[in-house]
Amino acid sequence: MRIRTRIFLIALAVGFFLGVLLDAFVVAAPRQSAPEVRPWAWPLDPQPEVVETFDPPADPYGPGHRGIDLSGRIGQSVLAVADGRVRFAGMVAGRGVVVIEHGTERSTYEPVIAAVDVGDPVDAGQVIGRLELVGSHCWPGSCLHLGRVAGDTYRDPLELLGGADGPVRLLPFHDATTSGDPWRLAVVRRTVVEDILAGFG
């Protein structure tokens, strides 16, 4: 047998052996599970009514509703939904915003007059600010817009809040004399609306 053939066969045998070892190592290695995302507490007390649900945009700059709106009252305490650390507390486009990091996800709250500073640790249920009217999605009423973000992706906060209980509610959002769209459907549970519409099919 020539030297080149021997070298080739040895290299082939070593490669095969290393492949078997590597395969055994990968199978035996513990798998990294996705980080556990814990349930959230409601950010308003008592548990608020959901006046608008999550409606993700089709693309990053498209129309949609990147969170949920919860009915509240001006000056009401806004509570952290989970333990974390304040990432942002300040004004964005004329409204108060608080952002809290919870491991791999963030919660966002607006419009809020912040009672915390960037870097502050917070516990679930801790007061982080007060609900303000300026910039409210529910004008002329007051509501809290709660967002949930994982990386750059918006997620439905209701998945961690355990859903919403209560009826579908229609709310007047605009004065009929100043807007061409005086009513806006506020869905508490999208499935309830689908059930009602299915009855007309």
Tens digit of each residue's pLDDT (9 = 90 or more) over 87-122 = 999 999 999 999 999 999 999 999 999 999 999 999
pLDDT at residue 118, rounded to an integer: 98
Q: Is residue 86 predicted with pLDDT exceeding 90?
A: yes
Q: Measured between alpha carbons, how far is 131 from 71 in angstroms, rounded to an integer?
A: 10
pLDDT-derived band at 163 (thresholds 50, 70, 90) equals: low
Three-class SS state of 114 = strand
CB neighbour class for 96 (10 Å; exposed up to 12, middle 13-18, buried from 19) = buried
Q: Measured between alpha carbons, how far is 28 from 47 in angstroms, rounded to an integer?
A: 46
The conformation of residue 143, written as its DSSP 8-state character, comes to: E
For residue 121, say if its preceding peptide bond is cis, omega within 30 degrees of 0: no
Q: Measured between alpha carbons, how far is 132 from 146 in angstroms, rounded to an integer?
A: 14
SS (H, E, C) 35-102: CCCCCCCCCCCCCCCEEECCECCCCCCCCCECCEEEECCCCCEEECCCCEEEEEEEEECCEEEEEEEE
pTM: 0.65
- Nearest CA-CA partner of 129 in 148, 149, 150, 107: 107
Average pLDDT of span 41-48: 96
- Between 5 and 86, the higher pLDDT residue: 86
Q: Which residues of 134-168 are buried (b: 16+ CB within 10 A; e: fewer)?
A: ebbbbeebbbbbbbbbeeeebbbbbebbeebeeee
Average pLDDT of span 127-150: 89
pLDDT-derived band at 141 (thresholds 50, 70, 90) equals: confident
Average pLDDT of span 6-21: 54
Average pLDDT of span 153-159: 94
- Nearest CA-CA partner of 111 in 127, 126, 92: 92
Average pLDDT of span 117-141: 90
pLDDT at residue 194, rounded to an integer: 40
